Structure 1
Amino acid sequence: MNEPVIDLASISAVVFDTDGVVTDTARGHAAAWKHVFDAFLRGRSEPFDIRDDYLRHVGGRPRLDGIRTFLAARGIAVPEGGPDDEPGAPTVHGLGLAKDQIFMAQVDKYGVAAFPATVALLHELRRRGARTAAVSASLHGRRLVTSAGVIHLFDLVVDGGDAALMNLPGKPHPALFLEAARRLAVPAAQA
């Protein structure tokens, strides 16, 4: 009696988180954080622990919040800076820009993998006529799903660029997901 847990026939739209659900990016993010923080911490503090520090302080957080949280845990204060800072400058924005630059260089060089089970689900949903959206807090959400070779499985992508243009809060706030449901023209409770 293997009855489905979710009746796919009743689903008209699905909104997917990109990082960690559609694309396997955690290792790339962690490696980029380690590179940036180790360079910054040299002579100031112990190196960034790719497992403990990543999970406690930066994984799953908006980039700038992760930097603030990690540095506060180490008792290190840096100026906030701004989006025009040089990547790697000793500011919150400078460190964030360096991390973003390193991560995207990895994506451009090596690509990013999509999770096979998610790809199979996307194909089945599309076969059944469901609309799909990919959501990412990253400014590069579209680039990530394109690199993973799954952009064609989504009707739309809502990412950090949209959040900036619309002044939407980042994760964990659901604003990006609600915006995706709105663009798919389905009530949020049904997406």
Structure 2
Amino acid sequence: MHNIKAIIFDLDGVLVDTAKYHYLAWKRLAQELNIEFSIEDNERLKGVSRMNSLEIILEIGNITLDDDTKIKLAEKKNIWYVEYISKLTPADILPGVIDFIESIKANGLKIALGSASKNSMLILTNLKLTDYFDAIIDGTKVSSAKPNPEVFLKGALELNIPPCQCIVFEDAQAGIDAAINAGMYCIGIGSKNRLKKANLVLSGFSNMTFDKLGL
């Protein structure tokens, strides 16, 4: 891998652990619907859009609802989730992230966000990360959820960098599939067993710099 010009980061689970807040909000909603919802069930929601996540929970509970009710339930979940993430501070940034991003900047690479979250700007603002990004593509700018590559292709387009010169960092299989579908090199953050399709897997960014990737 040579001639890399840009890095595109997913947000949830890569730069900050917001997964726990998604889980708390979905669990709260599931309890209202008398559905048993476990941490294992929550794994199925990683990298999945809000409405599709609700469909999975309803499937677990064997419940069928009309579209209007589903929209209201998804909105209720998001209100709870926003309440949780509104309390985020820079202390919630995952270990090593800032040093890694600064090592990318030192190498002259561009940085974009590629996240399905419609709350990305709120999260980045609370974490004081916004200024690090040359482009921010989130759920308000895309119409297709991962594994569709739209979010990453729009990031590359906004950076004016060809997809083949971009590296994506992702923690969910749907996001890794999206990166592959975009024709980008993909580095998984998490478990090698769970992220088998990634070109490379790291447990996290602690003591990691761009140069140490050896690309």
Bin of the TM-score, shorter chain as denominator length: 0.7 to 0.9
Q: In terms of mean alpha carbon deviation, does 123-132 or 143-152 score higher?
A: 143-152
Which structure has the greater CA radius of gyration? 1
Alignment CA distance shift 1:188-1:33 (3 Å) = same
Match for residue 122 of structure 1 among 101, 123, 138: 101
Aligned counterparts of 1:137 and 1:96: Cα–Cα separation in 2: 15
**1:88 corresponds to:** none
Letter in 2 for 1:103: Y
The C-alpha deviation readout for 1:133-183, integer Å capped at 9, x for no partner, is 0111111112112222211111121011111xxxx3111211101100000
Match for residue 46 of structure 2 among 46, 59, 66: 59
Letter in 1 for 2:162: P
**Local SS of the residue matching 1:160:** coil
**1:184 corresponds to:** 159
Does 1:16 pair with 2:5?
A: no
**1:30 corresponds to:** 23
Structure 2 unaligned blocks of 5 or more: 167-215
Q: CA RMSD in A?
A: 1.7
Aligned counterparts of 2:58 and 2:154: Cα–Cα separation in 1: 32
Aligned counterparts of 1:187 and 1:25: Cα–Cα separation in 2: 30
TM-score of the pair, normalised by structure 2: 0.71
Match for residue 173 of structure 1 among 148, 160, 167: 148
Specify which structure has the higher proportion of helix. 1
Shift of 1:119: 2.1
Alignment CA distance shift 1:132-1:110 (3 Å) = closer
**1:85 corresponds to:** none
1:63-142 to 2 correspondence within 5 Å? 63-81=50-68, 91-111=69-89, 113-142=92-121
Shift of 1:111: 4.0
**Local SS of the residue matching 2:58:** helix
After TM superposition, what 4+ stretches of structure 1 lie above 6 angstroms from structure 2? Answer: none
TM-score of the pair, normalised by structure 1: 0.80
**Local SS of the residue matching 2:111:** strand
Aligned counterparts of 1:155 and 1:107: Cα–Cα separation in 2: 23
**1:143 corresponds to:** 122
Aligned length: 165
Match for residue 48 of structure 1 among 28, 37, 45: 37
Letter in 2 for 1:24: D
Aligned counterparts of 1:128 and 1:28: Cα–Cα separation in 2: 34
Letter in 1 for 2:147: P
Q: Is the 8 A contact 1:133 1:154 kept in 2?
A: yes
Letter in 2 for 1:64: M
**Local SS of the residue matching 1:15:** strand
Identity across the alignment (%): 27
Aligned counterparts of 1:59 and 1:132: Cα–Cα separation in 2: 23
Structure 1 unaligned blocks of 5 or more: 1-5, 82-90
**1:87 corresponds to:** none
